[in-house]
Amino acid sequence: MSVTADKATTPPGGPARVDRRQWTRLLATASSRARGRLGLALTAVVVLIAALGPRFAPYSATQFVTTPFSRPSAHHLLGGDDLGRDVLSRLLAGGWVLLVMAVAATAIGLVLGTLAGVCAAYLRGRWDGIIMRTVDVILAFPTIVFALLLVSVVGPKLWLIVLAVGISHAPQVARVMRAATLEISERDFVKAVELWGIRSWTVMRSEVLPNLSSPLMVELGLRLTYSIVIISGLSFLGFSQPPPAPNWGLMINENRLGLVANPWSVVAPALLIALLTIGTNTFTDAVGRLAIGVGRGSEETAVVAGLAGAVMMGELQQFPLDEGVIEDPEGADNQEPAVD
């Protein structure tokens, strides 16, 4: 037969990229945008303060070194707190536990939620019903009340708070992952594998999961932001480390009486929590915008349809265009390696 072997040239897109994992590419692209860079910078500043702070703390976080609510001075840059401890030292020492708890809660929420969502969507039928109704029940509990309930029964254990917050995240994650999995499991490549009679678990792990990285990244950022807010809120209420320990949420509560005397004792921890949530949220937003722009096929159809309508009505100039630059002309999206 006259089938001609293709020449072994490099594809037009240039040499194969080394790293093909979608999530790293997504993060790299997001970090290169202004929005992503801002978010990353804010987050990094707060994380660095929390991580390296204890080493640079001028005083011990628990010793009484100055007068309560003393104003900032050369020796105590942010003044003293309600018991005369150094605010700066407590600030530098008080973020790490909060961060670790938020990350752990997020991880628990993501793992549980993804497991539930993917299973519900892929296995369908009975499993879908059981999992999603359970999710609905959990969703009916307000997070804070749920956590308070657990803590008041078992006692203020850190792992318990992490677990409570993690579990309360799972339903939202499950819903998003279920929707994404429903779409992916309809694709032909999943069916192709099913036709070999492969176990469902393997199909979910090797075919579905790798294609969920975009929604996962977005959920990760979103849940991390919520975790920070909820856990600092719980700390403020006293459900976290017991009092002598420094903690940003707790500091706000302890020092609120001296807000007028030494505003920094309240404003500084509040500011750090705010910067952290704004940072993670801004970065997530950058990732989310990219992730939504990933599916470019539907955009094409919409443009053509809109064009037809616009030409008919003679309104082409007002014709709205989607974001995202189409680099390849003439449906070459399908023909050639997508460069992105």
Partner 1 sequence: MTESTDLVVRLSVENLQVNLAGKDVDVVSEVSFSVAAGEVLGLVGESGSGKTTVAHAILGYARRGLEIAGGAVRLDGRDLLGLPPAELRRVRGASVAYVPQDPGSALNPVLRVGTQLREILTAHPGTVANVGDRVREVLAEVSLEATADMLRRYPHQLSGGQQQRVALATAFALRPSLLVLDEPTTGLDVTTQRHVLETVRDLCATYGVAGVYVSHDLAVVRELAQSVGVMYAGRVVEFGATDVIFNAPAHPYTARLLRAIPSVERSHVLEGIPGQPPRPGQRPAGCSFAARCPLVVDLCRQGPPPVVSVGQGVHLSRCVKAAEAILPPVQQALAGAARRADNADSGGLVVRDLRASYGDTEVLHGLDFQVAGQSCLAIVGESGSGKTTLARCLVGMHPKWRGEIAFGGQRIPQGVRARPPEARRALQYVFQNPYTSLNPRKTVEQLVEQPLGYFFNLSRNESHERVVKVLEDVALSTAFLRRYPDQLSGGERQRVAIARALVVEPDLLICDEVTSALDVSVQAVVIELLRDLQVRRKLMLVFITHNLSLVRAIGDQVVVMSEGRVVETGPTDDVLDRPRHEYTVRLVEDIPKIGAASGV
Taking CB under 8 A as the binding criterion, the range among 50-58, 137-145, 147-155, 330-338 that sits at the site for partner 1 is 330-338
Q: Pick one of 100, 107, 271, 326: the residue that binds partner 1 (CB under 8 A).
A: 326
Q: Pick one of 130, 175, 210, 238: the residue that binds partner 1 (CB under 8 A).
A: 210
Tell me: does residue 180 bind partner 1 (CB under 8 A).
no
Least distance from partner 1 to the Cβ atom of residue 333, Å: 9
In the bound state with partner 1, the residue whose beta carbon lies nearer, of 155 and 314, is 314
Tell me: does residue 244 bind partner 1 (CB under 8 A).
no
Taking CB under 8 A as the binding criterion, the range among 161-169, 190-198, 217-225, 265-273 that sits at the site for partner 1 is 190-198
d(CA 228, CA 234): 10
195's tokens: 């036709």
Integer angstrom CA distances of residue 99 from 33, 45, 75, 160, 249: 25, 13, 28, 16, 12
Contacts of partner 1 in 251-280 (CB under 8 A): none
Provide Rg for the chain, Cα atoms: 26
User: How wide is the angle at C-alpha 151 spanned by C-alphas 145 and 157, nearest 5°?
Assistant: 140
Q: Pick one of 82, 211, 229, 289: the residue that binds partner 1 (CB under 8 A).
A: 211
Tell me: does residue 48 bind partner 1 (CB under 8 A).
no
Q: Pick one of 125, 195, 242, 260: the residue that binds partner 1 (CB under 8 A).
A: 195
In the bound state with partner 1, the residue whose beta carbon lies nearer, of 136 and 183, is 183
Q: Pick one of 28, 44, 137, 321: the residue that binds partner 1 (CB under 8 A).
A: 321
244's tokens: 């002598």
d(CA 207, CA 189): 8
Least distance from partner 1 to the Cβ atom of residue 321, Å: 5
Taking CB under 8 A as the binding criterion, the range among 60-68, 134-142, 164-172, 183-191 that sits at the site for partner 1 is 183-191
Tell me: does residue 325 bind partner 1 (CB under 8 A).
yes
Contacts of partner 1 in 297-316 (CB under 8 A): 301-305, 307-316
> What residues make contact with partner 1 under the rule CB under 8 A?
1-9, 11-13, 16, 20, 22, 187-189, 191-198, 207, 210-211, 301-305, 307-317, 321-322, 325-332, 334-338
